[in-house]
Each structure stands twice: as structure tokens, then as C-alpha cells.
Structure 1
Amino acid sequence: MSWLEEVRRIMPSHPGAGDTVDWDTIEASWGTPFPSDYKEFMAEYGGGAIDDYLSLMAPEPHSEPGGESSYLGMQQETWNAEDVWRAGRPETAEIPRLIAWGVDSSSDLLCWLATDSDPDKWPVVVWNRDDVRWTEYAPGMVEFLCRLFRAEFDECPLGAVSLWGVGSPRFLHRAEEQRLRKAGISPWTGEPDPFAGMFGD
């Protein structure tokens, strides 16, 4: 069983999930191919959130600092990761190539250390804000998620244990979350949203 098949078993996607991505344009703008497991995950799930805790970013074109980037988007969070790396390691002359793919409610950053020419060999690096440190994990993104769900690391990599050993995490595509909110339903409880309409669309 592949890691994606195991993630599917633990966390089924829902109708309407998944993103169609112009990978040629994305990869040309970033100047690198992306990992195959991330591409498969985007096709199956797309950008969205897990249990209202971990946001997984769909790819967006690369731009220079100060350019356009969506809120909580891949480019913006990559800039944030570079700033955190720079602040935490002032003695390091050069920042390694980081590409952010996730951020959580604890303000942790989940990135690839994108230094190998083969993106399928990129390890995951996590900035744990509570521990104030970067930690490298050998597996790729999908294996990382699977092992997080199964609590297979020595300790939880993230600032909260919301997804640590969770039996049945729930994924919601960003469009489905927005649709439910517009309908006045809390996306994560299924109950009427008491804040519906208070903050505009």
C-alpha cells in the first residue's frame, strides 16, 4: 500500500475535493519540479485544511518578495519560513531553499528542504514555534502526514497534538469550507454558524 493509499484510508477525501494544477507553469515559475506525492495529493485532495488545525497549501506561481501572494499562500509562507530561518541562524550566510506547503494554528511552518535536484528526495522541515527550532524529517509530505496521524515519530512534530495519533482526521477543501460558511453552517461541526454573516463574504 502506498503512503497516499494509507492516507486515503485514514482520511477519505470528499466529493468536489482535488485541484487541477497547471504544473508546467507552477514549476517553471519556481524553477524546480515538485514532489510526485504532493502532486498526487493535490489531485486527490487539493488545498484545504485538516480538522480546522493544519492548512495545506495548493501551489501558486512564484514571485519575488513584495510580489503577489494569497493569504496563507505557498509564496507568503515561504517568505515567512525564510525570515524565521534567517532570524534563528544569523551565523548562516546562506538560507537553504525552502518551500512551504503547510501552516497550522500553532503558527508552525511545514516546508520542504528543497536542496536536492530530485524533489522526491526532499525532506520535510518543521518550524515548531513552541520549541523555537527547526526539525528535519526524512519522509516526504504524504508519508509525514501518514506518520503524524499514526503517531510514529518520537514525539509530535507540531505545537499541538490535535492530529497526533488521530483515528479519523477530516479534510475539507477550501472551496467546500467557504460554501458551508456562506450557507450559515460551521464547516467543522455541521451546526448552524452563530457568526454567519457577521464578517461579510
Structure 2
Amino acid sequence: MNAIDALAQLCPPPDDPPGPIDWGAVETVLGMRLPADYKRLAAVYGPGDFADFISICHPHGYTEYSNLTGRMPGIVREYVQQDYDQGEAPVPCHPQHLFSMGGIGNGEKLFWITDPLDAPDTWRIAGSEDRGLRWFTFDGTLSEFLVSVLSRETAVSQGPVGFAPAVPGPWVPVNVRTRPPVDTESIREWGRAQGYDVPFRGRVPLVVLEAWERAHPL
């Protein structure tokens, strides 16, 4: 039995399947490929929460906090980078290899360790606890992590086992500092100079935007 089937036994997915996902467009925006396991998970469950405690970001997330291609993953990485630079938290790897894709409690975060970047099906899971003061890692896929937690093999505080689909609501912007508008062509030129593969038209990949923002702090 694969992890998705095992998860479905623990937490039956919604009766109404979520809408189709354009994974090519999603991965273009992010500037990286995603694990096949995550794609199956997102296609079966859609946006929502497991055990009323574990939230997984989704390409169709209804808020900027839950949308996989929104600003939140980059903002979280910036906060982790600050902790890493100041030696305030035992981050398990360099923050450039962390991509925030969920939450496991009151402000606690769940990450992929995206190393190597071009082998997403080998990525491990990392999580911060106690608001970043403690970290854990899990050697497996996101679905395997969820099965392990919901079957009580891995200890993470949680509510009753189950899945609750997210409810659409008004888009709530992330409340963070903003920077003045920047010409995207300048970012493209900077990205190419740094060795990134940046298309000449369309959206600038998220990985390039995040790198530019780290190199040009507010």
C-alpha cells in the first residue's frame, strides 16, 4: 500500500474532488519541480487541514498564507535566514534549501529540504517547533509524514484524526513590510548575471525573486 492510500484510510478525502491543477504553470512560477507525492496529495485532497492542526499549502489555497505560489514561502524563508544568521535557532540545513509548504500548529512551520533541487522525490521533511526554537526532520515524503503523525508513530501535537477542506473566503494579504516597485527586467538581468535560467517573457520564477530580495534587503 502506498502512502496516499494509507493516508486515505486514516483521513478519507473530500467527496467532491478538487479542481484540476496546472502543474506546469505552478512549477514555472516556483522555478523548481515538485515531488510527485505532493502532486498526488494535492490532487486528491485539495486545500485544507489534517487533524485540525496540520495545514498543507496548495496551488489553489484560498489565502496568501495557504497558497503554495504566494509570497508566504519566501517570507518564511527570510525569517528563518535571519534566525540562522543570528544563531538564534538550530536550523537543520542552510535556509536556501528550505521551502515552507505547511504549518503544524500556532505559527510553527513545515518545510521541504530541497536538496538536491533537481531531485524533488528525494526531498526530506523538516519542521520548526516552539516558534523556531526546536526543529525536527523526517526522512520520507510529505504523505509518509502525515501517515506517521496521524497514526501516532511520530509525535506532533494534533486534534482528532481527519481532513477538513478549506472554505473559500476573501483574500487576506500577508501583513509584511513592502518594498517600492522594481522593474522586472532589472530582476531578470540580475538573475541571468547570477547564473539563473530566467525566461525573457512571462512571470519571473519565484526562486529568482526570492534570491533578488535576499540580495536587496529592505
Specify if TM > 0.5: yes
What is the number of equivalent residue pairs in this alignment?
160
Q: Partner residue of 2:46?
A: 46
Deviation per residue, 1:94-115 (Å, 9 max, x gap): 6323222211332110110112
CA displacement at 1:80 relative to structure 2: 3.5
CA displacement at 1:79 relative to structure 2: 2.2
1:118-197 correspondence to structure 2 within 5 Å: 118-130=119-131, 132-153=133-154, 156=155, 158=156, 161-163=157-159, 169-174=161-166, 177-178=167-168
Q: Structure 1 stretches (4+) deviating beyond 3 angstroms?
A: none
Q: 8 Å contact 1:96–1:115 — kept in the other structure?
A: no
Tell me the amino acid that sits aligned with residue 88 of structure 1. Answer: D
Q: Partner residue of 2:66?
A: 72
**Uncovered stretches (5+) of structure 1, i.e. residues with no partner:** 61-68, 180-201
> Do the aligned partners of residues 24 and 16 (structure 1) sit closer, same or farther apart at CA in structure 2, a change above 3 Å counting?
same
Distance 2:28 2:149 in 1: 31
CA displacement at 1:38 relative to structure 2: 0.5
Q: 8 Å contact 1:100–1:112 — kept in the other structure?
A: yes
TM-score (norm 1): 0.70
Q: Partner residue of 2:14?
A: 14
CA displacement at 1:72 relative to structure 2: 3.4
Could you say what secondary structure the match of 2:41 adopts? helix
The higher relative CO (CA closer than 8 Å, separation ≥ 6) is in 2
Distance 1:84 1:107 in 2: 12
CA displacement at 1:85 relative to structure 2: 1.9
Distance 2:3 2:19 in 1: 19
TM-score (norm 2): 0.65
Q: 8 Å contact 1:54–1:102 — kept in the other structure?
A: yes
CA displacement at 1:25 relative to structure 2: 0.6
Q: Partner residue of 1:84?
A: 79
RMSD value over aligned CA atoms? 2.5
- Looking at secondary structure, tell me which structure has more helix per residue: 2
**Uncovered stretches (5+) of structure 2, i.e. residues with no partner:** 88-93, 170-218
Deviation per residue, 1:69-126 (Å, 9 max, x gap): 823333333124313321321168x632322221133211011011212101000110
Q: 8 Å contact 1:54–1:105 — kept in the other structure?
A: yes
Q: 8 Å contact 2:51–2:162 — kept in the other structure?
A: yes
Could you say what secondary structure the match of 2:127 adopts? strand
Q: 8 Å contact 1:109–1:128 — kept in the other structure?
A: yes
Distance 1:77 1:145 in 2: 22
CA displacement at 1:141 relative to structure 2: 0.4
Q: Partner residue of 1:95?
A: 95
Q: Partner residue of 1:55?
A: 55
Q: Percent identity?
A: 20
